């Protein structure tokens, strides 16, 4: 009972904070609520965790797909199939693809349910509604930039040895990347960060920026392009255009390469030592990403329940 009262107070506080913050929804509060939901998940308090997700669904106009993916599985875990189907459909409206749904083994019971036929029948229409909400022109532009970036980066693989790859990165890739950053700057000013909300993809631009931030230690030390754009990324985090984990990945490359792995970072590319853990968590807290240890606790929950929590803040 005490936990329920505390949760009610927590949800009420954040609902009031959201209204008072400003008319433009503040996603820093959104991500703080998510961390609370994940702490509840980690402590196996599945019912109250779902309540936090449902509060988010009521309070925010845009919801990241991952939240509906987890809510669907939580509802199924709590034996509420109708609610699970409802959230599954909401996920499809946010871009959850059928192949991804079918790959999630935890959702197998839903595929045996009578309502699965209606989901399959409605899928094309729900997906069409999702596509109609995206900025298709911007999506094509970013996809072209991503494809061009991948081709350029792929050529580095044919340079044998770290010195040859370093020369290629600074002499050939860097000029290309600077042109990409100029285009990205224009996109930021015109539309905001082109991520899941605007173009339905959270990896293309993050990869482009990560490539730029991984050219070389010498390049990062003199680079002014990324540091000048970094504050705008923080603004777009607050606006719901970029997730904490996209920003952490991009920034992790910059700090890791610039300081040649000599300072604590977000723990995405390299695991932090025990002594560096407080600094790693401090960096994560600034951008509203979950504490490092919480991720490990959620991995344990995945193993215990069979749920897929779609964690994305580790490369190893």
Stretch (H or E) spanning 256:
helix 244-258
pLDDT in tens, 111-151: 888 889 989 999 999 999 999 999 999 999 999 999 999 99
Q: For the residues 204-219, what does the mean pLDDT come to?
A: 96
Note the pLDDT of residue 4: 44
pLDDT in tens, 68-91: 999 999 999 999 999 999 999 999
Interatomic CA distance for residues 242 and 250, integer angstroms: 11
User: Would the pLDDT of 47 be above 50?
Assistant: yes
Burial 114-140 (b: 16+ CB within 10 A, else e): ebeeebeeebeebbeebeeebeeebbe
Note the pLDDT of residue 313: 79
**Of 107-111, 134-138, 162-166, 216-220, where does mean pLDDT reach its minimum?**
162-166
What radius of gyration do the chain's Cα atoms show?
21
Question: What is each CA distance from 67 to 90, 152, 310, in whole angstroms?
Answer: 10, 34, 9
Interatomic CA distance for residues 283 and 182, integer angstroms: 27
Residue 138: name the closest of 61, 199, 54 by CA.
Answer: 199
Q: Mean of the per-residue pLDDT values for the chain?
A: 90
Other CB atoms within 10 Å distance of the CB of residue 57? 13
Residue 284, both tokens: 């994560």
pTM for the whole structure:
0.88
């Amino acid at each position: 009972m005490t936990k329920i009262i505390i949760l009610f107070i927590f949800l009420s506080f954040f609902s009031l904070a959201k209204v008072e913050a400003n008319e433009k929804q503040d996603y820093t509060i959104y991500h703080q609520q998510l961390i609370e939901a994940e702490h509840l998940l980690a402590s196996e308090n599945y019912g109250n965790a779902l309540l936090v997700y449902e509060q988010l669904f009521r309070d925010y106009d845009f919801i990241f797909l991952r939240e509906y993916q987890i809510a669907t599985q939580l509802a199924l875990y709590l034996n509420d199939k109708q609610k699970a189907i409802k959230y599954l459909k909401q996920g499809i409206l946010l871009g959850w693809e059928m192949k991804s749904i079918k790959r999630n083994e935890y959702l197998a019971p839903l595929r045996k349910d009578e309502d699965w036929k209606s989901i399959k029948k409605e899928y094309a229409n729900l997906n069409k509604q999702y596509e109609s909400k995206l900025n298709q022109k911007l999506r094509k532009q970013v996809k072209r930039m991503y494809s061009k970036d991948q081709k350029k980066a792929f050529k580095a693989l044919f340079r044998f040895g770290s010195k040859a790859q370093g020369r290629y990165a600074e002499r050939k890739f860097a000029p290309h990347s600077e042109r990409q950053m100029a285009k990205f700057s224009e996109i930021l000013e015109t539309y905001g960060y082109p991520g899941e909300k605007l173009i339905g993809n959270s990896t293309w631009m993050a990869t482009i920026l990560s490539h730029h931030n991984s050219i070389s230690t010498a390049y990062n030390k003199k680079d002014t392009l990324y540091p000048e754009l970094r504050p705008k990324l923080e603004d777009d985090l607050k606006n719901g255009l970029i997730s904490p984990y996209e920003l952490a990945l991009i920034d992790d490359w910059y700090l890791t390469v610039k300081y040649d792995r000599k300072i604590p970072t977000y723990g995405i590319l390299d695991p932090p030592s025990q002594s560096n853990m407080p600094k790693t968590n401090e960096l994560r807290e600034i951008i509203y990403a979950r504490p490092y240890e919480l991720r490990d606790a959620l991995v344990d929950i995945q193993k215990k329940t069979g749920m897929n929590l779609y964690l994305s803040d580790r490369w190893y």
